[in-house]
Amino acid sequence: MANTETALKEATTVIDGALGAALVDYTSGMALGTIGGGKDLDLTVAAAGNTDVVRAKVRTMEMLGLQEEIEDILITLGTQYHLIRLLKGRGANGLFLYLALDKQRANLAMARHQLKKIEAELEI
Amino acid sequence: MSARAAGAVVSPMLLRLAREHATGALIRDHGTLYLVDGRVAHARSPVAPGADVLLTAGGRQPRQGRISAGELEICHLGALFDAAFFALAPGRGPARFQYGAVHGTPAAPAVRPVPAADIERETLRRRELLDTVWPYPAVDAAPVVPRPAAPGQTVTPRQRDLLAHADGLRTPAQLAWALGRPAFHVLLEIRRLAAAGLVTTPPEPAPPVPYEAMTHGAVPYRAVPREPPLHDPAGFAPEPDIALLRRLRDALEAHL
């Protein structure tokens, strides 16, 4: 059992190449917690903006009639990976974990696996 | 954006109290913020369901130890920002500050006090977000009246749930209480639904809500008053509303 602060701390210390992480409410776009980031990566702005990414995908799936749930969304930049993991669970209505990774140092498969583990520990 | 660029401040008094590291209760028309050492430890508004309501919404019982620490924290934090948003809505009277007052919740919430600047920033962001989605604050306080969907038009599961509970009488705040969702979430979804034409937009701006009515679920939040009086967005305006026409064009193009 972990609170959000320890979960986010774990995300940035355990996951290689992590630049910052945020726990985001995707209805309002508010970051409930952030860690890392800095002047190059404003995580509260990233949180609000990526909310639109998630909403657009959820809407598209409705339009396509897909009955599945989104596990994660990967955005690949020239030098970074941005990973969005939608949280499941009774209390996780509309939350996602957002993780920015340095592409040079990160192992994507490992990062996805570890993010999944952190979600489980958060026990939402 | 414009409000932020102009250096808009939600509550100068809140920022001053934060600088003073004050402890006490900031009492405003639409709710109360409880400060501890200049940080916001708790917020209450008659419009926003408290954490207890949010937690029990899904039939969960916080007192039976079935809620994890993570969920409890997130729920309390969400409820705090939600109540603060409505408490900081423009009021008519001056705010009061009771030095030393603390909130008397017996089960102290597991949430760290939030810096006042964070509350300010988030409240401004939320106001802007509402107006970006659909700049008609009248929908915030009016009973939610669903409209039939266009052929092929879809809604998200959460919006569908909201529409199913909209009986033409409940206001967004009353829907929030009924569904156990944060009031701002419902406000935002209703504006989105109104923008999509799935909920009617009242032709007139909502009349000022007397404070007594608020405790019965009306929504006090009103965005910054707009200079030209609001017209019926579905009717004909005396002059073409260029911004609205642009939005319409963008929305139509987005559906191509």
- Provide the 3-class DSSP secondary structure of residue A68: coil
Name the minimum distance, in Å, from the CA of A90 to any CA of chain B: 8
Beta bridge partners of A33: A23
- Strand-by-strand arrangement of the A95-102 sheet: A30-36, A18-25, A95-102, A80-86, A72-76
pLDDT in tens, A54-109: 989 988 888 898 888 899 999 999 999 999 999 886 555 689 999 999 999 999 99
Longest dimension (CA), chain B: 60
Indicate if the pLDDT at residue B93 is higher than 80.
no
B69 closest CB neighbour out of A3, A25, A29: A3
- Burial A16-43, CB ≥16 within 10 A → b, else e: ebbbbbbbbbbbbbbbbbbbbbeeebeb
- In this structure, the strands spanning B96-99 and A18-25 are unpaired
Residues 55-74 of A with CB under 8 A from B: 55, 58-59, 62-63
- The count of domains in chain A is 1
Res B19 pLDDT > 50 = yes
Dihedral (C-alpha) B120, B125, B128, B132: value to the nearest 10 degrees?
-170
CB-CB: which of B58, B67, B188 is closest to A27? Answer: B188
Q: What is the DSSP string of B35-91?
A: EETTEEEEEE-SSSPPHHHHHHTTT--GGGT-S-HHHHHHHHHHHHHHHHHHHTS--
| Pick from B70, B158, B185: CB nearest A7 | B70
Which chain A residues touch B75 with a CB distance below 8 Å?
91
Residue B42 to residue B76: CA distance in whole angstroms = 9
Residue A118 near chain B (CB below 8 Å): no
H-helix or E-strand spanning residue A56: helix A43-64
* Residues B133, B192 contacting (CB under 8 angstroms): yes
What is the ipTM metric for this complex? 0.85
Residue B203: per-residue pLDDT: 80
Cβ pair A28:B126 closer than 8 A: yes
Angle at B246 between CA B242 and CA B250, to 5 degrees: 170
Q: Which domain holds residue A90?
A: 4-122
Q: In which residue are the tokens 């909310």 written?
A: A51
Residue B106 exposure: Cα atoms within 13 Å on the Cβ side? 2
Query: Which pLDDT score, from 0 to 100, does residue B65 have?
Result: 56
B189 touches chain A (CB under 8 A): yes
Residues 144-183 of B with CB under 8 A from A: 152, 154-158, 182
Contact across the interface for A1 and B69, Cβ inside 8 Å: yes
Q: Provide, as residue numbers in chain B, all residues whose Cβ is less than 8 Å from the Cβ of A63.
A: 152, 154
Kindly report the CA angle at A122 between A119 and A124, in degrees rounded to 5?
95
| CB within 8 Å: B68 and A91 | yes
- Domain range summary for chain B, segments of one domain joined by +: 2-122, 134-254
- Alpha-carbon torsion angle B149, B150, B151, B155, nearest 10: -50
Contact A124 B73 (CB under 8 A): no
What residues in B contact A3, CB-CB < 8 Å? 69-70, 73, 110
Minimum mean pLDDT range among B148-162, B204-218, B230-244: B204-218
Residue B195 has pLDDT above 50, yes or no: yes
Q: pLDDT tens digit string along A104-124?
A: 999 999 999 999 988 888 766
Contacts of B6 (CB under 8 A, 6+ apart): none
CATH of the domain at A92: 3.30.450.30
B184 touches chain A (CB under 8 A): yes
Lowest-confidence region among A14-18, B10-14, B64-68: B64-68
